[in-house]
């Protein structure tokens, strides 16, 4: 086991003790492989419905852990976000009565920006990529004294996100976990907790291969940030803290097409009446597209990680 890990299994367990009463223990549902168009001889697939988490994604776990453990200044907290981290942090900050400012991409979906505002945070759109978002976030923190809560490259974030694996392994016997990856806070935290207790497969869009490229290079590198799930899985580079953890414990990283992600979203609706955003369906896309093929005796778990989308609209 490497000695330079920023977050360990014990850190995840400690985070869960802090946040358990403030987040939902999201359910797991078992689905026959044939219902997903897979080989009917395979074990049922275990889906953890993390899109039902407070604020609509797993990111509430990391945000809440930071809010409850950090020394928060009077100016509150600030973050750069594609949407889900912003919503999660705004929710956590509102719960604690803390001021919150979120800088978002100018292309952040309206459903995500509206959700952030709904939790009382100030939302400021910014042109450019994630580096630009971070630049203005740091400038705001310097000017106001607000505390930056990073979306993925922060110990408290990693430990909080890892708690989803703690629950998942208690709820379902799995040999393999399929995890969508963007900046890597989720898969980094999961890897820290799971270690070698299950295989961990990273799934990314072809248009945003951040961990895939980092593994090929041996270190985090700038990567494209495009495609259908760019708002949640396209930060341009994985975090420095998560990378040594995933190098030790992630078994493989695979890429899926936008068409496969879209097909996975549609399948979840058609078969399970579940609505998720593109990033939330990315892990499943690897299974239904054949990019990852389970063995006959392999028990697979898929994390559905977010559902902040406007694909469902009700009449006024």
Q: In the prediction, which pLDDT does 40 show?
A: 97
Confidence class for position 3, pLDDT limits 50, 70, 90: low
In a domain, 316, yes or no: no
In a domain, 310, yes or no: no
161 and 254 co-located in one domain: yes
Closest of 102, 88, 86, 185 to residue 137, by C-alpha: 102
177 and 268 co-located in one domain: yes
Q: How many distinct structural domains can be found in the chain?
A: 2
Span 128-132, average pLDDT = 85
60-107 pLDDT, tens digit each: 999 999 999 999 999 999 999 988 999 999 999 999 999 999 999 898
Can you say whether the dihedral through the CA atoms of 215, 237, 243, 279 is positive or negative? negative
137 and 269 co-located in one domain: no
| CA distances in angstroms from 68 to 164, 171, 315, listed in the order given | 17, 26, 38
In a domain, 64, yes or no: no
Q: Is the pLDDT of residue 252 over 80?
A: yes
140 and 204 co-located in one domain: no
In a domain, 204, yes or no: yes
178 and 252 co-located in one domain: yes
Span 142-150, average pLDDT = 97
Domain boundary among 105, 129, 148: 148
111 and 250 co-located in one domain: no
In a domain, 47, yes or no: yes
120 and 163 co-located in one domain: no
When mean pLDDT is compared across 11-20, 25-34, 282-291, 304-313, the lowest value belongs to 304-313
In a domain, 188, yes or no: yes
61, 164 in Cβ contact below 8 A? yes
Which region, left, alpha or beta, applies to residue 114 given φ > 0 means left and ψ of -120 to 50 means alpha?
A: alpha
53 and 15 co-located in one domain: yes
142 and 166 co-located in one domain: no
CATH of the domain at 106: 3.40.50.1100
Q: In the prediction, which pLDDT does 259 show?
A: 97
Both tokens assigned to 227: 């495609």
In a domain, 63, yes or no: no
Domain that holds residue 45: 9-57+154-304
84-95 pLDDT, tens digit each: 999 999 999 999
Q: Is the pLDDT of residue 230 over 90?
A: no
48 and 174 co-located in one domain: yes
Q: List all residues 6 or more positions away from 1 whose beta carbon is below 8 Å from its beta carbon.
A: 195, 248
Q: Is the pLDDT of residue 204 over 50?
A: yes
Confidence class for position 224, pLDDT limits 50, 70, 90: confident
Query: What is the chain's percent helix, strand, coil content, to nearest 5?
Result: 45, 15, 40
Q: In the prediction, which pLDDT does 205 show?
A: 96
């Amino acid at each position: 086991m490497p000695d330079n890990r920023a977050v360990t299994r014990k850190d995840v367990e400690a985070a869960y003790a802090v946040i358990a009463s403030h987040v939902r223990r999201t359910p797991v549902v078992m689905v026959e492989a044939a219902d997903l168009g897979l080989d009917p001889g395979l074990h049922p697939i275990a889906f953890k419905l993390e899109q039902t988490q407070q604020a609509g994604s797993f990111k509430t776990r990391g945000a809440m852990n930071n809010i409850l453990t950090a020394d928060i200044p009077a100016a509150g907290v600030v973050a750069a976000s594609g949407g889900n981290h912003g919503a999660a942090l705004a929710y956590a900050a509102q719960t604690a009565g803390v001021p919150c400012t979120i800088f978002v991409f100018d292309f952040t979906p309206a459903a995500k920006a509206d959700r952030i505002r709904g939790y009382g945070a100030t939302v400021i759109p910014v042109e450019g990529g994630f580096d630009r978002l971070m630049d203005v976030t740091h400038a705001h923190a310097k000017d106001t004294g607000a505390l930056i809560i990073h979306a993925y490259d922060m110990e408290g974030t990693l430990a909080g996100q890892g708690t989803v694996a703690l629950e998942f392994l208690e709820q379902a016997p799995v040999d393999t976990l399929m995890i969508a990856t963007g900046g890597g806070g989720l898969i980094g935290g999961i890897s820290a907790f799971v270690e070698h207790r299950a295989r961990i497969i990273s799934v990314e869009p072809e248009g945003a291969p951040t961990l895939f490229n980092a593994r090929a290079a041996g270190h985090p590198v700038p990567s494209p940030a495009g495609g259908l799930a760019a708002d949640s899985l396209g930060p341009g580079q994985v975090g420095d803290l998560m990378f040594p953890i995933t190098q030790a414990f992630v078994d493989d990283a695979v890429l899926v097409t936008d068409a496969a992600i879209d097909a996975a979203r549609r399948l979840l609706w058609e078969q399970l009446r579940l609505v998720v955003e593109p990033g939330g369906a990315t892990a499943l896309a690897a299974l239904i597209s054949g990019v990852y093929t389970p063995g006959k005796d392999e028990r697979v778990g898929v994390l559905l990680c977010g559902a902040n989308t406007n694909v469902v609209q009700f009449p006024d």
